[in-house]
Copies of this chain bind each other. A is one copy, B any other.
Amino acid sequence: MKFYDCSTAPSPRRARIFIAEKGLEIETVDISIADGAQLSDEFRAINPGCTLPALVLDDGAVLVTTAGIWAYLEDAHPNPPLMGATADEKGRIADVRYLIEANGFAAMAEALRNSTPRMKGRALPGPDDYEQISELADRGKVRVQRFMDRVDAMIGDKAFVAGGSYTVADIDLMILIDFAKWLKMGLPEDAPNARRWYEAVSSRPSAKL
């Protein structure tokens, strides 16, 4: 297997932390999005969609989304389970993960990609160029703040966001909170459950990656 990573971007970090939490070691190639290397002919030959992360399997098949990489590795290396062991857990974790990705992660990407000067003309990832939309940046920020205001209640008195064990939903939520710092946004001051949880997940060795 070969893992195509980008050490500065939030999406590849989701796969990177997952790999570490599984205790796997996979040959890794860093592709610099800052240098536009994801748009090079060389990388297009691996992923014509020009996005990271990507995972090339031993038979040459290529997975080009975090969703695909997680699903593959969870089945090929089931322990420790990061996506649930029972039907109830799998359903709940997929549910929480979707809410974090759709209401948090996607909103943060909208806010950042539509406002930061170095992403002019690159408001969406992928091979096609799209102009920034300033109203979308503003809406994204409003959505991120609303999401952050709800994290404390999402965590409640649970050890982790989807229940008693560490899962992909924790990976998503921790990366979202770190990602939001790019726009100087984050958890509200008065969020004791969320802050207790964030400190715990951030102190795991995988979080340094």
Contacts and interface: CB of A to CB of B under 8 A. Distances in A.
A191 interface: no
Instruction: Determine the interface band of chain A, counting residues with CB < 8 A from chain B.
Output: 35 or more
A130 interface: yes
A86 to B, nearest CB: 7
B63 A92 contact: yes
Main secondary structure of the interface of A (DSSP, over half): helix
A133 B96 CA distance: 28
A97 interface: yes
Nearest to A64: B95
B93 A71 contact: yes
Contacts of A69: 91, 95
B87 A75 contact: yes
Interface string A57-89: 101010111111111111110000001101110
Interface in A75-128: 75-76, 83-84, 86-88, 90-99, 102-103, 106, 124, 126, 128
A103 B64 CA distance: 13
Give how many copies assemble into the complex: 2
A49 B99 contact: yes
A63 B93 CA distance: 10
A70 B90 CA distance: 9
A100 B194 CA distance: 33
Contact of A94 (B65, B96, B143): B65
Given A72-B90, A103-B126, A63 B133 contact: no
Contacts of A70: 94
30 contacts: A49-B99, A57-B88, A57-B91, A63-B92, A63-B95, A65-B102, A66-B98, A67-B97, A68-B92, A68-B98, A69-B91, A69-B95, A70-B94, A71-B83, A71-B91, A71-B93, A71-B95, A72-B92, A73-B91, A75-B87, A75-B91, A76-B87, A106-B106, A128-B146, A130-B143, A133-B133, A133-B135, A133-B139, A135-B136, A136-B136
